[in-house]
């Protein structure tokens, strides 16, 4: 590419970009002069002109850098890669949710926002030895399920393409395809890994259920009286799924109360959040407002239609992962004094994104507004660049927290996330158990166990089953380092640099010996929680995700707290009419 061509291209491109940006706002000097003679000085217009000039100069600088790098850098560069890197770096400094979406990522974005894709309907994973792709979970009723695929089945090839050594993304792209097309898989079944079978599966349009489970939480007398609905995401038509679940529960028995579980729900479409609030509040109730820099982003969203359960006592469960649309539902119901919020403070995402085309099939997902609940509070974390390890809102200074009033006059606060009316403790798994899960060993055991046994609904991991798991782990050493061990090594290094090692070396060695990771000792120390995660995994193999959720619900302390509160009408009424929320 010649310098002359680049120079001509530069001037043409810059002129076109300027015309697009300002839509004819750039005028000849004579026209600007005539305008200045006819109109009084407008400070806002001057500010806009300065901004326009800054934009133009910045674009020219960027173009020059881009040109020089592509012409003169010592190695051959990829213009597309440079543009992607520059775009990512530019957007990264704005907020965590504004991002560039190239064409190849739009399919995943559509799946995330709609819950739909065309494929076989199975979750896949890498085998624990890293060599193979395995079925992790066939979705109930999906093509993979109807074809008889089981968790643990090894996928040897897809449409003749060998899967050995490839990653999950590679396999997933080949299992997806046009609805109606056929995928030919060669499988090594978990039930007999010495054999293979070939199966042809017709791809279908897969819709991930937003409500994977609904049912009942038994009261202290063992009666079904409090309904329960789990909502996993605000995908397309999720409000209709919640409505169907609610109406089904109402037909089964009188609802003494309802639990809407939004824990681990990271949000999604704003419209369906408004519809869900409308199931419990009167027509034309204000749910949320959005405010942005551009006037067209300022909107008020109200409920439409008559509610399905306007009087049923309602509890909404949230945790530190509940975000965006989940916080709209929880925050508006709290502001309207229509529900008790139970759990932990929510994530704190009060920003609205919209997609804008920026090239051939490329988009930018851009934050264009903030949303506000009926009391006027914004749930966005004051500082979204500093968070806790789990991503939740960190400590917010009191000086940055403002108070607001609910419909009944209760005090609620902004500053980041929805603060629950009734807090429940977070139940953490040990790091050792987390690594067992992440390494795939829990799934390996569950896959094999489910082939050999048919667990009942009241299944528990007994002593013999846990002993079998420990025997399996004896052949699969788990190498990991605890945070305590890492800190101790840092202390040892610092002691050596500062010449204290000779004096405290023996004490450090003694501490190291006491905290040294011992796999068998860890299996004994965390036996109770490991039995629990094993049982969950085994139940999912036989009863799918809905069965696993139902199984977990029996020991769910937060859901139990919610059910007891809903049945205590005096306490429920006291909370939604008089109790202020805490700041933290």
| 359-383 pLDDT per residue, tens | 777 888 888 889 999 999 998 876 6
pLDDT value at residue 36: 44
pLDDT value at residue 87: 85
Could you list the active site residues?
A: 324, 335, 349
The SS3 call for residue 52 is helix
- Per DSSP, what are the bridge partners of residue 413? 403
- Beta carbons within 8 Å of 31's beta carbon, 6+ residues apart: none
The answer to whether 375 and 335 are in contact (CB under 8 A) is yes
pLDDT value at residue 368: 87
Euclidean distance between CA atoms 42 and 288, whole angstroms: 35
pLDDT value at residue 476: 85
- Beta carbons within 8 Å of 521's beta carbon, 6+ residues apart: none
Nearest to 572 by CA among 221, 296, 311, 215: 311
The answer to whether 267 and 325 are in contact (CB under 8 A) is yes
Enter the tokens of residue 252: 């089964």
Euclidean distance between CA atoms 378 and 380, whole angstroms: 6
DSSP structure class, residue 295: G
pLDDT value at residue 477: 74
pLDDT value at residue 239: 97
Strands 197-202 vs 182-188: parallel, antiparallel or unpaired: antiparallel
Extract the residue ranges of the chain whose pLDDT is less than 70: 1-42, 103-116, 219-223, 382-395, 480-481, 516-517
Query: Against a cut of 0.85, is the pTM above it?
Result: no
Task: Give the H or E element holding residue 494.
Answer: helix 483-497
Place of tokens 């101790």: 488
Euclidean distance between CA atoms 221 and 227, whole angstroms: 15
pLDDT value at residue 229: 98
Euclidean distance between CA atoms 443 and 10, whole angstroms: 56
DSSP structure class, residue 410: -
The SS3 call for residue 230 is strand
pLDDT value at residue 108: 65
pLDDT value at residue 109: 61
pLDDT value at residue 30: 41
């Amino acid at each position: 590419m010649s310098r002359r061509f680049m120079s001509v291209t530069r001037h043409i491109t810059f002129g076109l970009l300027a015309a697009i940006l300002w839509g004819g706002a750039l005028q000849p000097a004579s026209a600007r002069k005539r305008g200045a003679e006819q109109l009084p000085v407008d400070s806002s217009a001057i500010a806009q002109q300065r901004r326009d000039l800054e934009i133009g100069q910045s674009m020219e600088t960027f173009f020059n850098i881009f040109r020089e790098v592509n012409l003169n850098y010592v190695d051959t560069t990829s213009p597309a890669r440079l543009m992607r890197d520059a775009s990512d770096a530019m957007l990264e400094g704005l907020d965590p949710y504004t991002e560039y979406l190239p064409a190849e990522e739009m399919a995943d974005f559509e799946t995330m926002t709609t819950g739909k894709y065309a494929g076989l309907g199975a979750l896949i994973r890498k085998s624990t030895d890293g060599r193979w792709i395995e079925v992790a979970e066939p979705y109930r009723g999906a093509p993979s399920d109807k074809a008889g695929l089981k968790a643990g089945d090894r996928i040897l090839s897809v449409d003749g393409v060998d899967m050995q050594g490839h990653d999950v993304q590679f396999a997933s792209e080949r299992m997806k395809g046009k609805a109606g097309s056929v995928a030919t898989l060669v499988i090594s079944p978990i039930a007999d890994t010495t054999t293979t079978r070939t199966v042809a599966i017709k791809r279908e349009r897969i819709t991930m259920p937003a409500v994977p489970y609904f049912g009942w939480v038994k009261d202290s007398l063992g009666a079904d009286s409090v309904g329960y609905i789990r909502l996993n995401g605000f995908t397309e038509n999720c409000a209709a799924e919640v409505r169907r679940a609610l109406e089904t529960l109402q037909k089964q028995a009188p609802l003494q109360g309802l639990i809407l579980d939004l824990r681990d729900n990271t949000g999604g479409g704003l419209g369906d959040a408004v519809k869900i609030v409308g199931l419990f509040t009167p027509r034309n109730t204000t749910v949320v407002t959005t405010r942005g820099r551009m006037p067209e982003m300022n909107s008020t969203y109200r409920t439409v239609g008559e509610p399905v359960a306007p009087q049923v006592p309602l509890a909404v469960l949230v945790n530190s992962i509940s975000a965006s649309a989940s916080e709209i539902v929880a925050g508006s119901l709290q502001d309207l004094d229509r529900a008790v919020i139970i759990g932990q403070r929510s994530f704190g995402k009060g920003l609205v994104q919209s997609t804008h085309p920026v090239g051939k099939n490329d988009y930018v997902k851009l934050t264009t507004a903030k949303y506000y609940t009926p009391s006027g509070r914004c749930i966005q974390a004051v500082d979204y660049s500093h968070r806790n390890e789990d991503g939740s809102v960190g400590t917010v200074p009191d000086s940055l927290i403002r108070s607001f009033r609910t419909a009944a006059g209760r005090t609620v606060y902004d500053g980041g996330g929805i603060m629950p009316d009734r807090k429940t403790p977070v139940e953490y798994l040990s790091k050792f158990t987390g690594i067992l899960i992440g390494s795939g060993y829990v799934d390996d055991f569950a896959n094999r166990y489910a082939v050999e046994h048919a667990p009942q609904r009241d299944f528990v991991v007994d002593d013999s089953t846990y002993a079998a798991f420990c025997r399996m782990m004896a052949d699969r050493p788990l190498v990991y380092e605890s945070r305590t061990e890492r800190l101790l090594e840092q202390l040892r290094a610092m002691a050596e640099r500062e010449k204290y090692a000779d004096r405290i070396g023996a004490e450090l060695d003694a501490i190291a010996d006491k905290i040294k990771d011992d796999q068998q000792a860890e299996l004994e120390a965390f036996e109770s929680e490991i039995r629990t995660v094993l049982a969950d995994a085994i139940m999912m193999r036989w009863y799918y995700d809905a069965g696993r959720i139902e199984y977990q619900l029996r020991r769910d302390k937060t859901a139990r707290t919610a059910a007891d509160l809903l049945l205590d009408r005096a306490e429920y009424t006291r909370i939604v009419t008089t109790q202020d929320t805490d700041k933290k």
